[in-house]
Structure 1
Amino acid sequence: MSSHAFSAFINVEPSSSSGEEHAVPIAPQKAVSRVYHSVPQEHTPAPLELDNLQWGKKLKGPDVTESGYPTPSGAQTPSGFQTPRSPNDLEMSRAPSPINEEDGVDVTQSFSNPPMNRFRMVSVCLLNFGNGLGDAAPGALIPYMEKHYNIGYAIVSLIFVTNAVGYILAAFLVDAIRARFGRAKTLMFAEAMMSVGYVAIVCTPPFPVVVAAFFLLGLGEATNLAMGNVFAANLHNGTKMLGAMHGAYGLGGTIGPLMATAMVTSGHLIWSRYYLLVLAVTLSNLAFAGWSFWHYEAESGQPLLDTVQRVASQTQNGLPQTKQPGQFAGMAKAFKSKTVMLGALFIFCYQGAEVSISGWVISFLIATRHGNPSAVGYVSAGFWAGITLGRFLLSHPAHKIGEKVFVYGMVIGAAIFELLVWQVPNVIGDAVAIAFVGLLLGPVYPCATVVFSRAIPRKEQVSGLGVISAFGSSGGAVAPFTTGILAQAAGTFVLHPIAIGLFGAMLIIWFCLPNIRKRTE
């Protein structure tokens, strides 16, 4: 069939004006403009949404408008529309959804992201180093304190009691202070309290003033310990970070008895002059911690999360609530947590055994093994050296094996070596066994802190770990005080059955803890 046959079906209309050119069809205007960053643009494109992502903010979850109310996830507020300004307006548009663990995934910080975390990690290590310098020295200085003030075991043990009272008081204050003033000022407050206590001790005042000074030391140590635990536990590979942090504590505990014994025996200085060294470290930590944590909340996005949580708690079905939770609501909730209560009991037994061994083993070697005071004063340093090596060397294998299983082996091994110290009548053998007790106890604290942090929701960790640190660490006063009272009546050998009994209680409490799956964020 030829082409001419089709011409009958085609009607070609001539243009109305032969002189006019045909108009080019115009594409419809885009309803929504798009920017493709791989294609050159006439104008500078707006930055990617990820460019504005801050550490600690949600990858998924509601954004927050200028008014402080959350908008639907992924939605943008057009420039021509008015942002809701009241809870009622918000309810008419869309109900708010508070940020919680189910809304999205937290961006886990690491040692180098954001970069300032390098200095913050060094700061918390130095804070714990200062704590170790202060905590380990009384074991070596107690014999000289007794001689200077002409007091016995029971009276000198009062320093452990007031130290525990400071720890317990910190549990009620640390979260409220952190929420009101931020982490930097909270850490500076803690170091200021410790500095006042050390200044009082350096002046060699009457013994009641020394007892009161140890209260300030406990208050400051518990505060910076809670802050450091929360920071390190939430970094990537928290077990390793906590191992480094608490390893620094063991390093301070190793150096402390060495310096204290050398200053008193070789330097012929009064016992209180040792605390000049600790005072210098504390003042340095005050300045460094304030500098490194000064912009922590801004970098972690904490003000944004606090705003959304506050708005969500104040609105229910679009209406403001008249009753708002107080500053201590987080701590009251922590007391209802099974993990927090078992964690506090576990750390109570751990700290009680650790401080009792460190504080009374030298008195045991002098009174029962008839050791030379100038020589056995270094045994306490061996114990803390073992703790330091354990935290630096065994924390990584604990992370590989599993913290829950690893702690069982460490506690059982520590109990066996403590039994050898009790039964082997040899000063050198006892000193070696004490060092092994410290080596096995070293990774227990950081491993336990990791397990607790996985079981406690992120927004409740400051209050939860604060309660664990404060009430748990009070065991570092109750057990040594009890040991001193019993040693006054029966003899210093009571140290060992007390320590072994505390190890047994740790195993029972650890067994009762729920199995917590490892976080994946």
Structure 2
Amino acid sequence: MATFFLLIIYLAFISLGLPDSLLGVAWPIMHKEYGASFETAGLLSMIIAGGTIVSSSMSGLMLKWLGTGKVTFISSLMTAAALLGFAYAPSLMWLIVLAIPLGLGAGAVDAALNNYVALHYKAHHMSWLHSFWGVGATLGPIIMSYHLVGESGWRDGYFTIAMIQFALVIILLLTLPLWKRVVHKANDESATDTTANHNETDATISTHDAQNKKVSPLKMKGVKATLLAFLFYCGTEATMGLWGSSFLVNVKGLPASVAAQWVSMYYAGITVGRFITGFITLKVSNKILIRSGQFIALTGALMLLLPLPTTFSLIGFIMVGLGCAPIYPCMLHETPVRFGKEQSQHLMGYQMAVAYTGATLLPPLLGWAASLTTIAIMPYVVVFFIIAMLFGSERGNAVLKGIKYQVK
């Protein structure tokens, strides 16, 4: 039953990943059709991520009212309907309106599912879970680039993604009556697994629970530094996804369809990296994986920044993706170990909100700066974001030096 439950969660994360990379890939063509300015993509991205922040912060209340199964179903349905609307939107104003349910649909289920997996499953499940998000994020640009090459254009690309999304909605609807039974069974099985294999980690978590139970989550040791790392991680990931295609088209001179394929390779790097990370977590701690990923991403960003041939820039895209792969799931999985089960749901929500804030504010800032200068500044900004993320992460490690990291 626990395996079946994980399969449903994986499908939900494919659903979450599918639309995340579409706007950046299609925008070089879309903005010309609508007569919109180049930086308008930043506004749309901000609205989408803003809706995600709102629904993520309200996830606890919605889960209490509806339960995880219904929230997952409704969230995916809203996303599918919004994507279908994008395919037929007659004006920019309609895109702005549709961006609201697109963002709201992604947020509510995210924090709840991440917290559940962090509490009840091993670290490799968290990496594989986010690898399935990468499957969706990788398929999106591939499908869109196929339509950009042909005569059908970006609208049919959005339509195709919407149909895939609706297929996932149907699967969620068919399994909805079984959700409660699966959840109860999964709780029992994961509890057994935790008892058998994670006694040492549970002892660490219990100690933190006793220490942090009466402390306000935002006043706990290491929280602010950790939130800073989340802010700049998602800023890095979203900036690469939103502006990467425009950088390759306008600076490197690649066709839009080819640039879309390389952005897809960036997301493929995240996907494959997270799949591999799932196995590495069996032997290597989350702390080491987070740090290693940050240095790999920084190396890839420097390859974009340096005046090297285009081939090196394309390799840099893949390296940034591979570097990003372990960072987010490993930081999420560390939450109950660092701060205890008592506070993990609250802090998971805060972490998701700050992460979405990074995705909301930082890419539009680059778009605004690029409109005043040139999109060629993108690599410099990405390098700064990665260094800031590394600082927050290492600062958190220093503050939490007394907390023992377990090899999961």
TM-score normalized with structure 1 length: 0.67
Q: What is the CA-CA distance between 1:517 and the residue it aligns to?
A: 3.1
Secondary structure at 1:405's aligned position in 2?
Answer: helix
**Structure 1: distance between partners of 2:223 and 2:170:** 32
8 Å CA contact 1:369–1:425 kept in 2: the answer is no
State the partner residue of 2:234: 351
1:436 counterpart residue number: 319
Residues 164 and 477, structure 1, Cα contact 8 Å, conserved in 2: yes
Asked if the contact 2:49/2:360 (under 8 Å) is kept, the reply is: yes
> Which residue number corresponds to residue 411 of structure 1?
294
- Note the 1:277-292 alignment, pairs <5 A: 277-289=160-172, 290-292=176-178
The reply on whether 1:126 has 2:11 as its aligned counterpart is yes
Deviation at 1:227, TM superposition (A): 2.3
Q: Offset at 1:503? A: 0.8
Paired residue for 2:179? 293
Question: 2:199 aligns to what?
Answer: none
Are 2:146 and 1:262 equivalent residues in the alignment? yes
Distance 1:298 1:413, change over 3 A: closer
- Structure with larger RCO (C-alpha < 8 A, sep 6+): 2
Matched residue type, 1:253: A
In structure 1, give the amino acid aligned to 2:162. L
Contact map agreement 1:171 1:471 (CA 8 A) in 2:
no
Contact residue 371 and residue 427 of structure 1 kept, 8 A: no
Give the Å deviation of 1:273: 2.3
State the alpha-carbon separation in 2 of the partners of residues 185 and 474 from structure 1: 26
Deviation string, structure 1 residues 177-198 (Cα, Å, up to 9, x no partner): 1122221122123223223322
Select the residue among 159, 168, 172 that pairs with 2:53: 168
| Aligned ranges 1:59-78 → 2 under 5 Å | none
Counterpart position of 1:478: 361
Q: How does 1:304-453 map to 2 (within 5 A)?
A: 333-453=216-336
State the TM-score, normalizing by the size of structure 2: 0.85
Superposition deviation, residue 333 in structure 1: 4.8
| Conserved? CA contact 1:240–1:396, under 8 Å | yes
Count of equivalent residues: 376
CA deviations on 1:359-389 (whole Å, 9 max, x unpaired) are 2122112111222223222110111111111
Partners of 1:118 and 1:285 in 2: CA distance: 18
SS of match in other structure, 1:400: coil
Letter in 2 for 1:211: I
Q: How does 1:62-141 map to 2 (within 5 A)?
A: 116-141=1-26
What root-mean-square deviation, in Å, do the aligned CA atoms of Structure 1 and Structure 2 show? Answer: 2.4
* Higher Rg of the two aligned structures: 1
1:243–1:271 CA distance, 2 compared to 1 (3 A): same
2:93 to 190, 200, 208: 208
Q: Is the 8 A contact 1:123 1:292 kept in 2?
A: no
**SS in structure 2 at match of 1:157:** helix
User: 1:318 maps to what in 2?
Assistant: none
Does residue 198 of the first structure (1) align with residue 69 of the second (2)? no
Matched, 1:147 2:27: no
Contact map agreement 2:138 2:267 (CA 8 A) in 1:
yes
The unaligned stretches of length 5 or more in structure 1 are: 1-115, 303-329
Question: Which structure dedicates a bigger proportion of its chain to helix?
Answer: 2
Aligned AA for 2:143?
Answer: M
Q: Aligned AA for 2:314? A: A
User: Which residue matches 2:72?
Assistant: 187
Contact 1:395 1:447 (C-alpha < 8 Å) held by counterparts: no
Q: 2: distance between equivalents of 1:185 and 1:291?
A: 10
Distance 1:372 1:282, change over 3 A: closer
Q: For residues 330-363 of structure 1, give each alpha carbon's deviation from its aligned partner in whole angstroms, at most 9, with x where no partner exists.
A: 9x95444455544433222111111111221221
Distance 2:307 2:7 in 1: 41
User: Once the 2 structures are TM-superposed, how far is the Cα of residue 300 of structure 1 from its aligned partner?
Assistant: 6.4
Please give the alpha-carbon distance, in whole angstroms, between the structure 1 residues aligned to 2:249 and 2:19. 22
Deviations 1:201-228 (A, max 9, x none): 1222321221222222222212222122
Deviates more, 1:135-144 or 1:224-233: 224-233
* Structure-1 separation of matches of 2:48 and 2:227: 17
Structure 1's 347 and 277: CA in aligned 2 closer, same or farther, altered over 3 A? farther
CA contact (8 A) 2:120 2:187 kept: no
- Residues in 2 aligned to 1:291 and 1:345: alpha-carbon distance in whole angstroms: 40
1:221-245 Cα shifts (integer Å, max 9, x gaps):
12222122122222332x1001111
The within-5 A match list for 1:435-514 is 435-513=318-396, 514=400
